[in-house]
Structure 1
Amino acid sequence: MISRQQNILAYSWIWIVYILMYLPIAVIAIFSFNSSEIIAFPLQGFTTDWYAQALTDGRLLGGLKLTFLVAIPTALFSTILGAMAALALTRYPMRYRFLLLVFVLMPFLIPKVILAVAQLILLADLGIGRSLWTIIAGQTIVILPFTTLVNASVLMRIDNRLEEAAFDLGASHFSAFKRVTLPLMKNGLMASWFIAFVLSSAEYVLTSFLSGREQPLSILVASDFRFNVSPALDSIALMLVLANIALIGFGEFIRRRSQK
């Protein structure tokens, strides 16, 4: 039985981890409202000019547009492929199911740098130039394990007897999937799309290797942080963090609804 001291110690470690994770974000949020261009204490005053500057920067807005052009199709492709893999793993009898599971989850286990270098070498051997489509392909592979697990968790909670009842009433496999399984998967599909969108918009390692002259916002912000640490970049970073948290929260809300 866990003693009171052990319980306090466990909660203390949890709070330490949370502090180490979110303290840098809190510091960025503080300096994004600081009126001084120098990112240092003490603070000089409160201002929202850095947000106005970030939202009127054409270069950064162009990077944001490219981020959407990459994240939307990446989320769509990874959600569709993840749903197909989840159906194969949970709904249909097949040999070597474990090998399929390992194959799907492999991008999650391999370091992204190794995946990025391997994909870059493959593109060079095939004579394919780097573009937005190479970013989409690379990110889809990396995000596929997450969308597969989300959809599989939804499918595992769907009662198989509902499909069996549809078969007994004369429905074909396609009709049963369209009229029974797919509507029950809807919330899981939406949740996996939101999660994939957030992961794609925040991806840096693969994007930096696979992008050409067209660079999404994550590359631009990382480059600016290397050479020019401005409070405007802090404001952009904070807006991205808040947007990603909102999308993840919405996706989690949809996933929880699908479990009821």
Structure 2
Amino acid sequence: MSRLATLWVWLVFGFMYLPIAMILLFSLNASDVMAFPLRGFTTEWYGAILSDGRLGGGFLTTLSVAFPVAILVTVFGAIAALVLTLYPMRGRGLFVAILLMPFLVPRLILAVSQLILFKEVGIDRSLWTVIAGQSIIILPFSTLIIASVLIRIDRQLIDAAADLGASGWSSFRRVVLPLMSNGLLASWVIAFVLSSSEYVMTAFLSGREQPLSVLVASDFRFNLSPSLNALAVLIVLGNIALVVLAESIRRRSGRND
């Protein structure tokens, strides 16, 4: 049974990571045709991507969206998580249902409804509408991540701080906030990655300034170039570097504590 389980795990890993390995392989192929046999080794596709001003502008646009989205959903996700775990409120069940609604509604329907709403209130499509739309669909992820950290906090620590004369704000700042810092960091990283890769909501709500996900999807429809493989590899490496950086910060803060 253990061998069968091990085989199943490796099959799942292969299903997940083999496509990425194929993209890496073809990004180094000298031929502009993505097919076997390979024609040789080259890095010219990476040079083509790095010198492409249009994709570079799309990358900067993606960052200008992902950073505020990650900050917004982390802040509001932290507030929602505190309400759900440490500071209960009336109507918490209804609050949870509303919060998790983006999980249940198809992304396409959310995007269309957002577009109709902005049009009816006279708001033109821009990066601000993209930020608003993405924040709505990413907020549940952020809330659940932070809540998973808060739910493990011993309530007696907060009660002990109150017994020692600490105010509600003081006990939050000195007890709760340090204990939830890892959740805040994880929420920010996940929100940043989800925002940078979001396509459906971005395609409907973006105006003239289009993030990288929209540009890449358009190129894949009309021009399947090996340079896009190189771009995909760079994005994966960037996300891995971001996760490694966040983990190193978490471990360093843990040692300091």
Aligned AA for 2:26?
Answer: F
1:82 aligns with 2:67: no
Superposed displacement of residue 233, structure 1: 0.8
Quick one: which of 127, 137, 153 aligns to 1:158?
A: 153
Query: Does the 8 Å contact 1:198/1:248 carry over to 2?
Result: no
The total of aligned residue pairs comes to 255
Alignment of 1:1-260 (within 5 A): 6-251=1-246
- Alignment RMSD, CA only? 2.0
Give the C-alpha shift of residue 228 in structure 1: 0.9
The offset of 1:86, in angstroms, is: 0.3
Change (3 A) 1:257 1:112: farther
Kept after mapping to 2: 8 A contact 1:33/1:47: yes
Cα deviations across residues 9-50 of structure 1 (Å, max 9, x unaligned)?
333333323222222211111110011111111111101111
- TM-score when normalising by structure 1: 0.91
Distance 1:253 1:94 in 2: 36
Identity of aligned residues (%): 62
Give the SS at the match of 1:60. Answer: helix
Instruction: Find the aligned partners of 1:115 and 1:255 in 2 and give their Cα distance.
Output: 34
SS in 2 for 1:129: coil
One-letter code aligned to 2:77: G
- Structure 1 CA distance for aligned equivalents of residues 254 and 114 of structure 2: 37
**1:43-78 deviation line (CA, Å, top 9, x unaligned):** 111011111111111111000000000000000000
Structure 1, unmatched stretches of 5+, are 1-5
Counterpart-to-counterpart distance in 1, 2:204 and 2:21: 30
> Post-superposition shift, 1:254?
6.6
Range 96-105 or range 248-257, more displaced: 248-257
